[in-house]
Structure formats: structure tokens, C-alpha cells
Amino acid sequence: MSGNKKILVTGGTGFLGHHLLRELVKENIPVRAIHRSNSDRVVMDAIEGVEWMEADVLDIVKLEEAFEGITHVYHSAAMVSFVPSDFKKMHQINIEGTKNVVNLSLEKGVEKLVHVSSIAAVSRKANQEILTEGDASESEGLPSEYGKSKYKSEMEVWRGFAEGLKVAIVNPSIIVGPFQWDRSSVRLFDREGFIGKVYTNGITGFVSVHDVVNAMQLLMNSEVNGERFILSAENLPLKQVFNWMAEDLGIKAPTIGSPKMLSAIMWRAFYLLHKIGGPSPLITKETAKSAHAENKYSGNKFATAFDYEYQSIREIVRETCRVKKSGERPF
């Protein structure tokens, strides 16, 4: 990218958005990122060279101001929740928010939009051993409300594509890397207490946060248009990843196997505690189900298209645990 470019990033105070901003400012191209009024200033102030503007993807007036002069957009703002009481709000943010971003991209003549979706939005056909990008218009077998909201947000992006907007979509698997330890998939590295002792026999895909950022930039700077890409480096048992975390953090590996029945009891207990005024549940019906599922994903389409080699999950787990164990700021 060169010339009179100006980039807008939504979701810049989140896990992936933060890592993306850290790389974008190195390109010496003007970067603007939106934030909500209650966003963490520590996260925002950790990066120099970003023009921060208070706006929300659901606030069309302020969002329109944020789009002034913008030529390229990375849309990573989204809500991730598996708690039923959050579903209505999550659908609004993920679907209506994306609709607003797409509409303004069309209205303002944005040259390209890179949209962050999720593997949760990739349809699951019966007896399909390894999931690929498949037909983006299909939604069969989506296992969660989050996945359904991300699928519908993709439909907004495809609508924009049909109306002439250049787009690319990434569908990351579980993203691994350092950030605030109580947010997003980074919470997996909190191995304290009972949760740190428990494992399930589920299998899923994992990818380094650095690879997702690299992929987004490569797609933005390429001629690729109207395609989606699963980003997944390896399919691994959750127990294996938890064992690596334990090894690198210098703690005991999980030893309590959680059968489906125990998980069912646990999510119901957490749900009841939440209903009587307790905190958001650590385990929900949806997360309990996914923890036992064997879902494998192929990231080969992107790797082949860009001759790209993913970072090993063992390496990014080691890197993330080193940061956590050192006590240094994770961003």
C-alpha cells in the first residue's frame, strides 16, 4: 500500500485489533482506530502513532465521522459470548455493526475491506472430517449463537461485495498469543484453581495471533477479492495444549478428565449462580459442548495462495507463557 492511503481499524482495543495496530503503525501509513467511551486507556496508550476516535459500530453518526478520508478498512470489532443473556446484544453488534461498516465503506468509496469472521461461522456438514471454506452461503450445522451472528455478519460483507466493494474475509480458529489475561481466548492461559486441573477430550484448530495479523495485511495488500480464508495452523487436542501451558508456566498439568455428564452438571451450576446474581459463567451449555467436540479445520487455502508457513502452536504457547510468567505487560 502506498500513496494517499488511510486505514481504519474497528475493534482496535481488542486482542486481535491491538496486535494488528502494532504492525500497521510500522508501515508509516496513517491509521485511525475507533474506541468506545469506556475503552481501556492503558491498551490505547500502549501504541504510538494511532489516531484514536471515539465511535461505535452501532452509532452511525460518529462512525460516519470516523470514515472521513478512509481508503482501507479492517473490521475486527465484534462481541463474543456464549451466555444466553448476551445473545440479543451480540447479534446487534455483530450483524448491525457490520452492516453499518459495509454501508459506509460503499458510501465513502473505500477501496477494500478485510473482515474478521470466525471458524464458528463455517458450516459443518455431516461426516465432514476436516472443515474447509466451503460455500459461504450455507449455514447448516453452525453450533453456536456466536457462530450464527458471525455468519450473518458475513452475509452483510457479501452484500457489499455484490454492490461493488472489494472484500476479503478471514475465519480464524482459536487465536493464541499474549494480551490481557482475562479477555478473549487469552483466558485459556489462566490455569489457576479448579479450571486449571480439568481437561476434556475435544480437538480444535489453533492459530497464532501473529499469523492472523500477517494474513490480514497480506490480503489487504493483494488483489484477492471476494474470498474467505480459514486461518488455522494445527488441529490439536485441548489436553495437549493445556499440558504445554502447564509445562511452560511451571505448574501441574490438568489431571481431572471431564466427561460430558460432568460438563453438563458444571454448566448448569454456573448458569444458576449467574441467574441469582453471580458473575458471568465460566462454562456455558455451548462451551461445554464445544469442549468435547472434535472439529478439525484446514488453513491450506491461505497457506497455498500466499506460500505461507504458519507459526507452530507449541512456539506461540511458549511465547505467551513466557510473557505471562515474567509478569511483564502483555502488550
Domains and CATH numbers, the chain: 7-176+206-232 (3.40.50.720)
258: which 3 cell numbers?
Answer: 471431564
How many angstroms separate the CA atoms of 81 and 108, rounded?
Answer: 31
Q: Give the pLDDT of residue 3.
A: 59
171: which 3 cell numbers?
Answer: 475465519
Q: Give the pLDDT of residue 30.
A: 96
Q: CB count, 10 Å around CB of 126? A: 6
204 in Cβ contact with 238 (< 8 Å): yes
234: which 3 cell numbers?
Answer: 494445527
Q: Give the pLDDT of residue 57.
A: 97
- Spell out the residues 6+ positions from residue 328 whose beta carbon is closer than 8 angstroms to its own: none
Beta strand 203-208 with 234-237 is antiparallel
- The CA-based angle 16-7-38, given to 5 degrees, is 55
9 in Cβ contact with 76 (< 8 Å): yes
Q: Give the pLDDT of residue 2.
A: 47
How many angstroms separate the CA atoms of 321 and 189, rounded?
Answer: 8
Of 243, 57, 222, 225, which Cα lies nearest the Cα of 153? 57
Q: Give the pLDDT of residue 322.
A: 94
Digit-by-digit pLDDT tens for the chain (331 residues) are 445 899 999 999 999 999 999 999 999 899 999 999 888 888 898 999 999 999 999 999 999 999 999 999 999 999 998 888 899 999 999 999 999 999 999 999 999 999 999 999 999 887 889 999 988 888 888 879 999 999 999 999 999 999 999 999 999 999 999 998 877 787 788 766 555 677 778 899 999 999 999 999 999 999 999 999 999 999 999 899 999 999 999 988 888 777 676 566 554 666 676 667 666 655 666 666 767 688 899 999 999 999 999 999 999 999 999 999 888 777 6
Residue type at position 216: M
40 in Cβ contact with 65 (< 8 Å): no
Residue type at position 158: W
DSSP 8-class letter at 310: P
